[in-house]
Chains A and B, each alone.
Chain A
Amino acid sequence: MSVYQKNEFKEVETSRTLSLVVDNQPGTLARVIGLFSGRGYNIESLTVTEIDKIRNLSRISLVTRGTSMTIEQIKSQLLRIVPVHIVRDLTLEGLFIKSELALVKLVVKGANRVEALRIAETFRAKTLDVTLSSFVFELTGKPSKLDAFIDLMRSLGDTEISRTGVSAISRGNKTETKVLEQI
């Protein structure tokens, strides 16, 4: 333990999902990632894509982990970045939806092919590519559901995985439109 460590009770670290609206310009993502690496915060998942072509905005969905003091610090630090306009703590705000997409390639022959298709059907995965010795499945949903599916596929044969990372949005009729108009 460092002598400069905070005099706090052993506070538990929790996972938080943050939703950011940022300017879609070179360097913005580097600033966000640089903040996390430079200050020693965790990134568990990060996705970024343009969401508004006219205003040139992107959304970053970010899953991080820390004590509430650390999370507050992360949020304040993110807001210091000039092209970051909105920082929302979805975990703190209430109910929200977290979804992810996985592409799973499975190399499989013989009886396990039927098993793979049966499991894929149970998980409502789409079959995107079929050869005599392989499948590519597409599955969306909660990360835990994707984890379970991938685990099962791994037990059936050689796999290759590509996941998008979590994308998140709050439930209910609240939107950011008014805030975005002021940008």
Chain B
Amino acid sequence: MGGHDHSHGHNHSHGHGHPHAAPASPLAERVKSLEALLVAKKLVDPDSLNALIDTYEHKVGPRNGAKVVARAWSDPAYKERLLRDATTAIAEFGFTGRQGEDMVVVENTPAIHNMVVCTLCSCYPWPVLGLPPVWYKSAPYRSRAVMDPRGVLREFGTVLGDEVEVRVWDSTAELRYLVLPERPAGTEGFSEEQLAELVTRDSMIGVTRAKTPESVP
């Protein structure tokens, strides 16, 4: 494992926000070979590998977080619990565990806009959002979110007035952050299910707002 073993010739386009171009086969072969070795040594069970992938591809994802947000929009007592002790309030839905053991929820208001980053790696609240998107893990986002948050937000199409305070949460420890976006106007009388439809992954990272009812067919 030397410092320079990326001589496998794949065509990354680094510096352009695309560090995930298709890998060359040597890396795929290395992964395959290690998996086979670990299975042969009875260190991992292939069914566990499949279960892990299935969990985060199909079961745990941002629909979980959307339910939490929709309830907070609908139920002031729940919102109060969520902002005071996010871990416990989120566990009311059964959303617990790995990379969400200790949660903090921060609330967007007309005067305050929160966004979340992990400049050191890619810390992200798995139980409520699943695995992070590529851009969240990428050098452009990690380098600039703390230094130029308003510029980053503009790239996501989110333009804030100069009077709005921007709060950036750098997840450098084991706390995991979820943004409670502002409830969109025109949603009076919406059920929690209808509200959850408006809550996107990116709005819970804090780079966009929730969808408006007009934007949803």
**Co-assembled chains A and B:** no
- Hey, which bits of chain B sit against chain A, CB under 8 A? none
